[in-house]
């Protein structure tokens, strides 16, 4: 399909527990498949960060969008997990949940979401930042070349990331989430192709999409590897702190490229984006028709609210 025939949309999505979240410029739709087979849709109004001038500034807008996406994504994921669990007759709140709601009431969800974001960030920082740096730091006595040390660190980061994805993909629940991830991509591809968005039409499209969170994360890794090559190895703590300070810049640059990649068929864009698409072969799986139906319901719910403002 040529670039001229593609109908691009700003709608993006996220796979959930037995569901899909689709997000437009202002509207969010969360579609979850209940255990009785029916689909429940929850509509929410998002808070468009574009209303702030600073959030429209190139590079900086990537940081704002990343934080906003994490907040919306974790909130939707928590909702889908709780909703699906509550439809299970054997579901019972954990002691921690009961404690949080008894002490914090309606604010418990917001506090737990903030805690989840901080925990996710800390986990990623340790696994993909601190561990590789300190591991390679052990080689300083053998290897003195800064570029070689940084290259080894970069390779180790990629190996850890790929290994992490492979390990979690073996979990039954995660496999289903990855199927919903594939359903999300097929649905958006179907719409952008100009075809009517139906299960039959969406089924034939690829599960890979250039404007994907997996590609974004992998791009962050690649840009950080290049940028952090220029940070010295003499003091590992200073190296780690400098990397943390530069993370917003890395995220901003990655966001700008993903925006280009989502709307361009240029050869150089495809080359840079290809590793991210390869990674999506691990984070997306072929969905069944029921999963496609959930993704389509979420997509159409947002589309109806957006009208022509795609």
**Residue 90: its pLDDT value, please?**
57
**Residue 120: its pLDDT value, please?**
83
In the structure encoding, which two tokens stand for residue 17, read together?
Answer: 């527990």
**Residue 252: its pLDDT value, please?**
93
Please measure the distance between the N-terminal and C-terminal CA atoms of the chain and give it in whole angstroms.
20
In the chain, which residues have pLDDT < 50? 1-2, 4
* φ and ψ of 146, to 5 deg: -65, -40
**Residue 2: its pLDDT value, please?**
47
DSSP state of 138: T
**Residue 159: its pLDDT value, please?**
95
Q: Which residues contact 208 (CB under 8 A, 6 or more apart)?
A: 185, 277, 280, 281, 284
Rg (Cα) of the chain, in Å, rounded?
A: 21
* pTM assigned to the model: 0.86
CA dihedral 213, 125, 73, 13 (to 10 degrees): 0
| Tens-digit pLDDT profile for residues 136-162 | 999 998 999 999 999 999 999 999 999
**Residue 249: its pLDDT value, please?**
93
**Residue 75: its pLDDT value, please?**
87
Quote the CA–CA distance of 219 and 177 in Å, as a whole number: 22
Quote the CA–CA distance of 143 and 128 in Å, as a whole number: 21
| Tens-digit pLDDT profile for residues 89-124 | 555 655 656 666 666 666 666 677 677 778 888 898
- CA nearest to 11, candidates 191, 205, 245: 191
């Amino acid at each position: 399909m040529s670039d001229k025939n593609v109908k691009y949309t700003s709608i993006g999505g996220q796979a959930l527990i037995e569901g899909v979240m689709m997000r437009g410029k202002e509207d969010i739709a969360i579609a979850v498949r209940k255990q009785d087979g029916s689909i429940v849709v929850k509509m929410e109004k998002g808070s468009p960060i574009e209303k702030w001038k600073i959030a429209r500034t190139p590079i900086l807008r990537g940081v704002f969008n990343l934080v906003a996406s994490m907040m919306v994504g974790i909130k939707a994921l928590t909702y889908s997990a709780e909703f699906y669990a509550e439809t299970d007759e054997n579901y019972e709140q954990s002691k921690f949940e009961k404690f949080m709601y008894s002490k914090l009431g309606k604010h418990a969800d917001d506090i737990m979401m903030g805690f989840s974001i901080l925990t996710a960030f800390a986990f990623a920082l340790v696994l993909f930042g601190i561990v590789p740096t300190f591991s390679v730091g052990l080689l300083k006595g053998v290897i003195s070349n800064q570029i070689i040390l940084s290259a080894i660190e970069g390779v180790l980061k990629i190996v850890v990331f790929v290994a992490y994805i492979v390990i979690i993909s073996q979990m039954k629940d995660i496999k289903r989430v990855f199927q919903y991830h594939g359903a999300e991509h097929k649905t958006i591809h179907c719409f952008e192709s100009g075809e009517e968005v139906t299960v039959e039409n969406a089924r034939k499209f690829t599960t890979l999409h250039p404007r994907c969170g997996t590609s974004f994360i992998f791009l962050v890794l690649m840009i950080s590897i290049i940028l952090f090559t220029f940070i010295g190895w003499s003091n590992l703590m200073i190296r780690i702190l400098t990397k943390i300070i530069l993370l917003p810049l890395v995220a901003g640059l990655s966001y700008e490229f993903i925006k280009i990649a989502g709307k361009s068929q240029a050869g150089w864009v495809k080359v840079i984006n290809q590793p991210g698409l390869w990674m999506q072969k691990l984070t997306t799986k072929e969905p069944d028709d029921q999963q496609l139906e959930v993704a389509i319901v979420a997509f159409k719910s947002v589309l109806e609210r957006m009208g022509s403002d795609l």
